[in-house]
Structure 1
């Protein structure tokens, strides 16, 4: 990298963030290097930015970047987040070090059509934190359950794959199979059961807190009126969407969730493949689960959505294709609801509302 610095102020700044510091490279209006700050602490970097004229500050989207870019914007700069995959393509296999990465990040500003990651608000990060805590406890509970079943299988004992078995029937099961289980194995199983119960309790508390926060929001109340979308799915959509107006249309919102077909064009042939699976996995998986539920209850759904779901179900296509099509439809409806009246997607702790599904009565 050229060591001669321009005398002009930097108008585009690239920051390669680390945990406690960052490497900074800035370009002036003539696209010449005007700023180089290797391994500068985040506190000193913010002080330098506070005393600099307004510039476009770019960095990769990573852990801590959403919080840091909000601080940069508060100083009056144009803070942007880049997809790490785009930075990797710009590097194109060249030698990698932190200062070069910062230069590549800054150079992305001059690439036409580059897309940016929208920074999350503090409310979105709060909801995302609860969501990840809940998922973590759920994963831990499942892991302890699998260990219990695997240990029993090591001693030639098969057991029901249910939570009720572990919570209520496991101690009695150990007592009735003392000939097959050694005292040490029985003690280990009870220790695993205690860990399973603790993880299950914390999972329940985190899930209740998450549902309470989601149900208190006006936008999520409206989202939960869509069949197939409950508190977990509504919260995941709010965390991902933020301001719905930032998406051009409903298809772009579905594409941001990876629910549109992958395209492969060559010559005069345009082939559509599997869904792209771009974007966050959690809201996409929630929508797919909701779509699978609608497939089961298709005969009880009312309105135009019910007719459309029944038509898709009877189309004769593969099960996965039908479920993904319904999931994309739910995403489009959700975007439309968030856009039509400009619903506030900020989070509040008002009294939660009950969820309702529009279903046909059993008599009909």
Structure 2
């Protein structure tokens, strides 16, 4: 049995394998338990192995590549067209085996353990930020039940929370309600400290990563966005152009063109939603600073704001930022500010 191409459908406990030889003849259809996968692959001659990009795929890609195999990860959306009729594990493995051999197929670069660890920091911070927002909103709503209305902004709520521990704070609250609010305030303080701890760890990684430092020189890209981009894009050369990179982030118009007529809609919102959100937030700050920015980019933003809605301009800036980030990653350069003419 000589396998040249192998498709593996990953799952929590059971993996489905589909292998073909150099003539395309099916020579293997097999189910394996998770613990037996590496032992089985170790006995095979080096071959091309395809897997769908999923939460565990980068770990398995590293482990399998260490055995001498060539491993390629495919976005699930690109595997779906190759599934014949009913969807099941065997059909998925066959589709992966077929898709991985296509010359025009796009693959996902395998992340290192370090890059995955940085992304874990980002996901943890994002989760803690959502929990912090939930507690802030809850405290604001509970206080409103007793006639205390807080001003907008997290700082105003935090300042009010600090007054709760003082019995002479002037807030007319029942003892039971005050006790519950103090409990939420303690959770809020813990979350804030954990977020700061994660940000310090991200800063330490940023200071020893050249790609992240280059990305931070782009207007609208700070520590969080720079480290997220550097960790999420291990090999920028898989994208042929900055536009392809922006399309991967979902920052290009959705097309519904036919008969030679171009019909462009809103942005596709495909790809990494976290990176897209960070870029749009950074672009929002660039938009707000545009009136006082005396650069060529600032003049371009001001000209857009005169003709287009602010949110549309923000997305356009995010698209341009993504293209600039790709160029810096590929060329290994830093951002150079062009003075206004």
TM-score strictly above 0.5: yes
Structure-1 residue corresponding to 2:279 = 287
Structure-2 residue corresponding to 1:70 = 62
After TM superposition, the score normalised by the length of structure 1 is 0.84
CA contact (8 A) 1:219 1:338 kept: yes
Report the RMSD for the aligned CA atoms in angstroms: 2.5
SS of the equivalent of 1:242 reads: coil
> What is the number of equivalent residue pairs in this alignment?
336
- Tell me if 1:301 matches 2:285: no
Q: Which moved more, 1:189-198 or 1:284-293?
A: 284-293
After TM superposition, the score normalised by the length of structure 2 is 0.89
Q: Which whole-Å CA distance do the structure 2 matches of 1:300 and 1:335 have between them?
A: 27
- Tell me if 1:176 matches 2:167: no
1:140-289 matches, within 5 Å, as 140-170=131-161, 172=163, 176-178=170-172, 181-289=173-281
Q: Which whole-Å CA distance do the structure 1 matches of 2:146 and 2:114 have between them?
A: 49
CA contact (8 A) 2:51 2:96 kept: yes
Encode CA deviations 1:294-340: one digit per residue, 9 max, x unaligned: 111113324332332222223x1122221111111112222222222
Aligned-pair distance for 1:25? Answer: 1.7
Aligned-pair distance for 1:188? Answer: 1.0
Relative distance call for 1:259 and 1:81 in structure 2 (3 A) is same
Structure-2 residue corresponding to 1:336 = 327
User: Among residues 25, 30, 33, which one is paired with 2:23 in the alignment?
Assistant: 30
- Tell me if 1:324 matches 2:318: no
Structure 1, unaligned runs of 5 or more: 1-7, 344-355
Structure number with higher relative contact order (C-alpha < 8 Å, ≥ 6 residues apart): 1
Q: Which whole-Å CA distance do the structure 2 matches of 1:28 and 1:335 have between them?
A: 38
User: Among residues 6, 9, 34, which one is paired with 1:16 in the alignment?
Assistant: 9
Q: Which whole-Å CA distance do the structure 2 matches of 1:109 and 1:164 have between them?
A: 52
Encode CA deviations 1:106-142: one digit per residue, 9 max, x unaligned: 2223556332222212222121111112112111111
Q: Which whole-Å CA distance do the structure 1 matches of 2:155 and 2:255 have between them?
A: 46
Q: Which whole-Å CA distance do the structure 1 matches of 2:153 and 2:309 have between them?
A: 30
Q: Which whole-Å CA distance do the structure 2 matches of 1:88 and 1:148 have between them?
A: 46
SS of the equivalent of 1:292 reads: helix
CA contact (8 A) 1:227 1:357 kept: no
SS of the equivalent of 1:117 reads: coil
